[in-house]
Structure 1
Amino acid sequence: MLLHQKIKGPDDFFKRLSMRKPRGVYFYRINSYDETILEFVRKYYELAKKDGTIIDTHIENPTAENIAYFNEIIGDRYVHGPGFIADALKRWLPRIRDYERASMADGIFDSLEVLRRQGKNIEILKNNFTRIMCWLYYNFYNIMEKLGSEDIPKIIFWGNVNFSELSTLNILSNAGADIILLQPGGDSQYLAIDPKSQFSIDLKMGTEGFPPGFNLDWLLKLYEDDKNRKLLYSGNVNIKPNTNAWLSGDIFEDLKNTKRGENTAFFYNMFVRINGCDNRNNYINELYLLYQDLKRTNRKIQVINNNISNPSVDEIAKIKRGNYANENQLILDLKTNIKFTSNTFIDVARDAFVDTMIETSKLMNMDLNKILNKGIYILCWINRYIVELMKGTDIHSPTPILIYFGTVESDSECLFLKMAAKLPIDVVIFNPEKIKDKLEDKNLYDIQFDETLKVREFPTDSAGLTMGTTAYNAERDLDSMMYSDTGMYRDMQFAKANAIRLSTTYEEIAIYWKQEARFRPNFSTVDNVVNIPVICAKVSGVPNSDIDTYFGKIKDLLTDTTLLYKNENICKNNVSVAAGVTSFYKNNRLDKEGIKKWDGFKYDYLRAETQDYILSKLSALLKSRIIVGTGQNGVEYKIITIVLDLPKEILRFIQSFDFTKCPPKLIIVNTTESIISLEDSIIAAFLNLIGFDILFFVPTGYDNTGKYFNNQIMEEHIIGNYLYDVAIPDFSRLKSGKDKKKSFFARFFG
Structure 2
Amino acid sequence: MEISLKYLISTMFKPKKDSYFYRFIGIKNKDEYNNELKVIQLKCNEIKDKVIIFDNEIPLNGEMELIQYIYNELLTMDIYNMANQDIVIFDEYNINNRFLNALQYSINLAIQNEKFFNDNIRNNFITKLIVWTYTLVKEMSISEEINPKVVYYGEIERHEIYFLILLYNMGFDVIYLNPLKEEYFDEIDADKLSILIKEIQIDTVDSFEERCSKGKLSENIETITKQIQSEIHQELFVDTGMFKPWQFRGGFTKSALLDTILEDIYIYYNEPAKLREGFKVEGKVVKVPCFFKKIDGEHLDQFEYQKMVRYCIESSNTLFFNHGNISRDVDVSGDMFKLMFCQLSDGTFDIEEIKKLDIYRFKKYSNEIQNFLLNKFNEVIKRKDLYEENLDKEASLKLLVLVLALNEEIVRLIDNFDFVDRVPKIVIYLNSEDGIIDNMKLLLGYIHNIGIDIIIFNPSGLCNISNIIKNERFNNTRLQNINYNSNYKNLTKVNTKQSVFTKLFR
Give, in whole Å, the separation in 2 of the partners of 1:631 and 1:469: 41
Aligned residue runs from structure 1 range 549-698, under 5 A: 549-557=304-312, 558-577=314-333, 578-587=336-345, 588-624=347-383, 626-627=386-387, 630-632=390-392, 634-698=394-458
Aligned residue runs from structure 1 range 421-500, under 5 A: 427=180, 464-467=219-222, 479-480=233-234, 482-494=236-248, 495-500=251-256
Give, in whole Å, the separation in 2 of the partners of 1:700 and 1:427: 68
Q: Which one-letter code corresponds to 2:489 in the other structure?
A: P
2:324–2:436 CA contact under 8 A, matched in 1: no
Aligned twin of 1:521: 277
Give, in whole Å, the separation in 2 of the partners of 1:584 and 1:435: 42
Aligned residue runs from structure 1 range 174-185, under 5 A: none
Q: Which one-letter code corresponds to 1:505 in the other structure?
A: I
Deviation at 1:698, TM superposition (A): 0.7
Aligned residue runs from structure 1 range 401-420, under 5 A: none
Q: Which one-letter code corresponds to 2:282 in the other structure?
A: V
Q: Which one-letter code corresponds to 2:245 in the other structure?
A: D
Deviation at 1:710, TM superposition (A): 4.7
Aligned residue runs from structure 1 range 50-65, under 5 A: none
User: Structure 2 length as normaliser, TM-score?
Assistant: 0.54
Q: Specify whether residues 707 and 463 from structure 1 end up closer, same or farther in structure 2 by C-alpha distance, changes over 3 A only.
A: farther
Mapped pair 1:272 → 2:25: yes
Name the structure, 1 or 2, with higher relative contact order (CA <8 Å, separation 6+).
2
Deviation at 1:464, TM superposition (A): 4.0
Q: Specify whether residues 610 and 464 from structure 1 end up closer, same or farther in structure 2 by C-alpha distance, changes over 3 A only.
A: farther
2:360–2:404 CA contact under 8 A, matched in 1: yes
Q: Specify whether residues 719 and 284 from structure 1 end up closer, same or farther in structure 2 by C-alpha distance, changes over 3 A only.
A: farther
Aligned twin of 2:468: 708
Greater Rg over alpha carbons, structure? 1
SS at match of 1:579: helix
Q: Specify whether residues 581 and 700 from structure 1 end up closer, same or farther in structure 2 by C-alpha distance, changes over 3 A only.
A: same
Q: Which one-letter code corresponds to 1:539 in the other structure?
A: I
SS at match of 1:595: helix
Q: Specify whether residues 571 and 444 from structure 1 end up closer, same or farther in structure 2 by C-alpha distance, changes over 3 A only.
A: closer
Give, in whole Å, the separation in 2 of the partners of 1:660 and 1:436: 32
Give, in whole Å, the separation in 2 of the partners of 1:699 and 1:711: 19
Aligned twin of 2:85: none
Give, in whole Å, the separation in 1 of the partners of 2:326 and 2:199: 46
Aligned twin of 2:489: 729
Give, in whole Å, the separation in 1 of the partners of 2:350 and 2:231: 37
Q: Which one-letter code corresponds to 1:659 in the other structure?
A: F
Q: Which one-letter code corresponds to 1:690 in the other structure?
A: I
Q: Which one-letter code corresponds to 2:236 in the other structure?
A: M
Deviation at 1:668, TM superposition (A): 1.0
Deviation at 1:717, TM superposition (A): 1.3
Deviation at 1:536, TM superposition (A): 0.6
Instruction: In structure 1, list runs of 5 or more residues that go unmatched.
Output: 1-270, 290-424, 446-458
Mapped pair 1:536 → 2:289: no
SS at match of 2:265: helix
Alignment partner of 1:547 out of 298, 302, 310: 302
Deviation at 1:427, TM superposition (A): 4.4
SS at match of 1:498: strand
Give, in whole Å, the separation in 2 of the partners of 1:481 and 1:629: 42
Q: Which one-letter code corresponds to 1:636 in the other structure?
A: S
Q: Which one-letter code corresponds to 2:39 in the other structure?
A: E
Alignment partner of 1:505 out of 261, 267, 286: 261
Instruction: In structure 2, list runs of 5 or more residues that go unmatched.
Output: 1-23, 43-177, 183-193, 205-213
Give, in whole Å, the separation in 1 of the partners of 2:227 and 2:372: 28
1:21-65 superposed Cα distances (whole Å, 9 cap, x missing partner): xxxxxxxxxxxxxxxxxxxxxxxxxxxxxxxxxxxxxxxxxxxxx
Give, in whole Å, the separation in 2 of the partners of 1:576 and 1:624: 22
Deviation at 1:477, TM superposition (A): 8.4
Give, in whole Å, the separation in 1 of the partners of 2:349 and 2:426: 26
1:573-624 superposed Cα distances (whole Å, 9 cap, x missing partner): 4523413011222432222222123332211221111111111110111112
Aligned residue runs from structure 1 range 251-290, under 5 A: 272-273=25-26, 283=36, 285-286=38-39
Give, in whole Å, the separation in 1 of the partners of 2:272 and 2:414: 16
1:496-515 superposed Cα distances (whole Å, 9 cap, x missing partner): 11111110110001211111
Deviation at 1:273, TM superposition (A): 3.5
Give, in whole Å, the separation in 2 of the partners of 1:272 and 1:436: 7
1:673–1:704 CA contact under 8 A, matched in 2: no
1:530–1:659 CA contact under 8 A, matched in 2: yes
Give, in whole Å, the separation in 2 of the partners of 1:638 and 1:468: 39
Give, in whole Å, the separation in 2 of the partners of 1:616 and 1:438: 27
Deviation at 1:669, TM superposition (A): 1.0
Give, in whole Å, the separation in 1 of the partners of 2:228 and 2:216: 26
Give, in whole Å, the separation in 1 of the partners of 2:196 and 2:308: 48
2:296–2:459 CA contact under 8 A, matched in 1: yes
1:101-147 superposed Cα distances (whole Å, 9 cap, x missing partner): xxxxxxxxxxxxxxxxxxxxxxxxxxxxxxxxxxxxxxxxxxxxxxx
Q: Which one-letter code corresponds to 2:288 in the other structure?
A: I
SS at match of 2:26: strand
1:284–1:466 CA contact under 8 A, matched in 2: no
Aligned twin of 1:748: 504
Deviation at 1:748, TM superposition (A): 2.6
1:543–1:721 CA contact under 8 A, matched in 2: yes
User: Cα RMSD (Å) of the superposition?
Assistant: 4.1
Q: Which one-letter code corresponds to 1:579 in the other structure?
A: F
1:277-328 superposed Cα distances (whole Å, 9 cap, x missing partner): xxx9x94643799xxxxxxxxxxxxxxxxxxxxxxxxxxxxxxxxxxxxxxx
Deviation at 1:657, TM superposition (A): 0.5
Q: Specify whether residues 679 and 437 from structure 1 end up closer, same or farther in structure 2 by C-alpha distance, changes over 3 A only.
A: farther
1:233-256 superposed Cα distances (whole Å, 9 cap, x missing partner): xxxxxxxxxxxxxxxxxxxxxxxx
1:674–1:704 CA contact under 8 A, matched in 2: no
Aligned residue runs from structure 1 range 7-156, under 5 A: none
1:503–1:715 CA contact under 8 A, matched in 2: yes
Q: Specify whether residues 645 and 509 from structure 1 end up closer, same or farther in structure 2 by C-alpha distance, changes over 3 A only.
A: same
SS at match of 2:260: coil
1:575–1:679 CA contact under 8 A, matched in 2: no
Q: Which one-letter code corresponds to 2:382 in the other structure?
A: K
Q: Which one-letter code corresponds to 2:238 in the other structure?
A: S
2:180–2:203 CA contact under 8 A, matched in 1: no
Give, in whole Å, the separation in 2 of the partners of 1:444 and 1:540: 62
Give, in whole Å, the separation in 1 of the partners of 2:285 and 2:469: 27
Aligned residue runs from structure 1 range 389-404, under 5 A: none
2:27–2:199 CA contact under 8 A, matched in 1: no
Aligned length: 317
Deviation at 1:439, TM superposition (A): 6.2
1:624-648 superposed Cα distances (whole Å, 9 cap, x missing partner): 2544565447121110111112111
Aligned twin of 2:73: none
Q: Which one-letter code corresponds to 2:340 in the other structure?
A: T
